A and B are shown apart, each in its own frame.
Chain A
């Protein structure tokens, strides 16, 4: 391995600008004649808008215009679409109610925007938004996912607030196996609502150029091309070729910046309408109210086992909260990213899952780090751990007994996926060793002596990443393909500019992708520049989510690089007076096998642009593109083990040790991969212990700021012990599987399994706050659970 090639922990290129304060995030851009926008938002969870009086707002000094939902409707703008059509089990299409970017007739959640105010300063715009006098006729509202179908209908298109009732797997066989089972473990499982909270709030700055009719939108997006496609084709803000979307440095996304939102849309529309640049940056309060939230499932699940402890069936019934509207990918999260993952790492022969998606008067719910896979893992790993306790079996051994074995691959699960490779015992064994599992009873005893309750919890997760084979995705309802583009332009001097449709908002693509290209071309790492996040520079792309960048985006870059190498070989053959098949390429040098004469990659690049001595039948230039469409998902998997200590007097939980052993296939940059795991673990532990997006019974958001929504802080978390095992992905050129979500998927059940173990209880709701834990300790002490 070279010091900067694949497998090296190269320090990141992008860091230099970030550590010196030279990063350029959306809010750092300003344009001449710029105005500022603020939104008027619904204070009610559900109401009819009976009048919007903007006259006082227009009188606020500095305010130049006030545009309402009615103005937008009059301009003929389309609604925000959901990009994934899910069908109910009876074959009918999901219900997709219209989602106008600015509400005109009704508001359906607290914080829904219904007017945009444009002013000279942000303060004037905010004052203007407050001066709007709107009349609302309040309607009954519902927030809780398990109340939705009994509540007042939100959208006439969706009776009983049902969006779809989707199912997967063999129902009858599953029911029969459960009937016949020696043991059945059943749980009600609530997956708490989370609010993503990238530290950079969403922002947008739009400019309309009257000279050519082009709109440029700087915005906090994980997938600028997809945003352009939706804004052009569905919302019809401008034709696609007249719309340029730039997602510059983006301060974290975790899913929440995938989606096309009301505010960015309204800003682009307003800029064209008023003929001046318009800028909006969310306050954190707005992020809480109007970023798409995550999770929010209620599930009843049964795991059946035979007398030997082998899993014979799994039945899962889930109700999933969609919020008030279908956000961009909302419908796919509790279905194709959830139900399909329920086999986990196990050979369960019968699985049936049914998911009812419902509308409520809450912010839309969509993909948040892991997206469906954490929910599936939580269900499965809670069940397995509980089953082990009920059967008095070691939880590690029960899992081991049921693992899909290395020789079983490729393995077809009963829930549609075909896993290509894996070695689940390898990860389990390494994790057991790292945590010193044998020493646990001793540690528990020692903690007991200190008056603390110590527990251990496991989680063996799998995820499907590298989204996704386009034909498969489209056949399942996706509105777009899920390939990725890559372009490798070799400059005449031999340096290389790479254009990728992936987007980096913390993942370090500028480093990792440069490692891939530099090592393949045998040129210095510093000679490779990665360009991303600008529809004006990058041809097309589907963006970054679902841990797909390396597996799909990286593969596209490899494919384009290999095309460059092949064209270079033809040029080299000519220059070396050799047959093409006599030319080898290694470490940046084309070599004539028999004569040993050679040309460097740089010499070949120069010849391509100054084609004096050049093949007759070859175009000049050295620049190649590729679209890479994977033929399967990738399947990262691993074992996470958590040890906690609970103080029964205060209910506080300390995560004492957290071990994560993951199989991500080939690792390009171990330092970056470890960092991704750390961040995911913090979010997974955050869900288990701290975070909860709460609406009250009337639909008001209770956790609307950092005063109420508990973010994991430095002193809430331990240092992590992370390691990897490797089975390379079998179907992409790099052998990579993806690592961005593993921590958030694996950690949550491990923590809850550890707490329930410590307290000797069956269940505890997330987040396991000190109050809940304290109450559980008390109940347990009183001989309750």
Chain B
């Protein structure tokens, strides 16, 4: 079936089998391998991307459900020369080790900061931990991820 969608600002029309998952469309059809697959039960969050402004687990979305949608993946969030504050904070706070969970973690964290702001809620350690409980990291013990998200949230607040 044909799916048309916008990914990181570029328009794409692809022809994929009807049971194709969004994550496979991104990785295989578009070669955007920054989005990872870590499980088969929608638990780990490695595949998290932003769809129409909201984070989704792209292993749990059919490509067909992304018809007409606008998707942002880690590749579209910021570049090496112009990092998104969340990307910069992950590096600064050593919030990644093997890097496998990192793209999904960063996308989930970006959405966490956005939705907290939309709800007028201030993030603290507890709410960051709860907000990221759908993303597994086996390397960092989450300690530095929490620090990074709080630091980026402050940064994003200051610059918006």
Contact = CB atoms under 8 A, between A and B. Distances in A.
Contacts of A201: 37-38
Contacts of A678: 140-144
Interface string B89-131: 0111010111111110010000000000000000001101110
Contact of B141 (A18, A22, A681): A681
Contact of B106 (A19, A284, A505, A675): A19
A19 B83 contact: yes
Nearest to A747: B141
Contacts of B91: 11-12, 15-16, 19
Nearest to B39: A284
Contacts of A283: 40
Interface stretch (A178-186, A246-254, A320-328, A447-455): A246-254
A679 B138 contact: yes
A25 B100 contact: yes
Contacts of A433: none
A717 B142 contact: yes
A715 B138 contact: no
Interface residues of B, number: 58
Given A20-B80, A200-B38, A719-B125, A682 B103 contact: no
A195 B35 CA distance: 24
A715 B129 contact: yes
Given A711-B136, A717-B142, A675 B40 contact: no
A655 to B, nearest CB: 11
A743 B144 CA distance: 15
A70 to B, nearest CB: 30
Contacts of B138: 197-199, 252, 254, 679, 682-683, 711
A19 B35 contact: no
Contacts of A711: 43, 136, 138
B54 interface: no
B135 interface: yes
Contacts of B73: 21
B136 A199 contact: yes
Interface residues of A, number: 59
A18 B96 contact: yes
Interface in B34-62: 34-41, 43-44, 46
B71 to A, nearest CB: 13
A678 B139 CA distance: 8
A14 B99 contact: yes
B33 to A, nearest CB: 4
A713 B145 CA distance: 12
Given A200-B38, A675-B140, A705-B40, A21 B103 contact: yes
A412 interface: no
Contacts of A27: 33, 37
Interface string A663-706: 00000000110111011111100000000000000000000011
A707 interface: yes
Nearest to B132: A714
B79 interface: yes
Given A15-B91, A507-B97, A285 B40 contact: yes
Contacts of B64: none
A20 B136 contact: no
Contacts of B153: none
A344 interface: no
A11 B93 CA distance: 8
Interface string B1-44: 00000000000000001010000000100001111111111011
A285 B129 CA distance: 26
B34 A506 contact: no
Nearest to B86: A19
A252 B100 contact: yes
A671 B33 contact: no
Nearest to A704: B41
A530 to B, nearest CB: 16
Contacts of B101: 199, 251
Contact of B94 (A12, A21, A249): A12
A290 to B, nearest CB: 14
Contacts of B135: 714
A14 B100 CA distance: 12
B15 to A, nearest CB: 14
A717 B128 CA distance: 12
A671 B98 contact: no
Contacts of B126: 715
B99 A249 contact: yes
B105 to A, nearest CB: 9
Contacts of A507: 97
B63 interface: no
B99 A15 contact: yes
Nearest to B38: A199
A18 B40 CA distance: 22
Given A20-B74, A199-B46, A250 B98 contact: yes
Interface of A: 9, 11-12, 14-25, 27-28, 123, 197-201, 249-252, 254, 281, 283-285, 505-508, 671-672, 674-676, 678-683, 705-707, 711-715, 717, 719-720, 743
Given A20-B77, A27-B33, A719-B143, 10 more contacts: A19-B74, A19-B83, A19-B99, A20-B79, A20-B80, A679-B97, A706-B39, A706-B41, A714-B133, A717-B142
The 6 A-B residue pairs with the shortest CB-CB distance, nearest first, are A21-B34, A251-B100, A18-B99, A682-B141, A506-B98, A506-B97
28 contacts: A15-B96, A15-B99, A16-B80, A19-B106, A20-B34, A21-B73, A21-B103, A22-B34, A25-B33, A123-B17, A199-B44, A252-B97, A252-B138, A284-B38, A505-B98, A506-B97, A672-B94, A679-B97, A682-B142, A706-B41, A706-B44, A706-B136, A713-B133, A714-B128, A715-B126, A715-B129, A717-B129, A717-B142
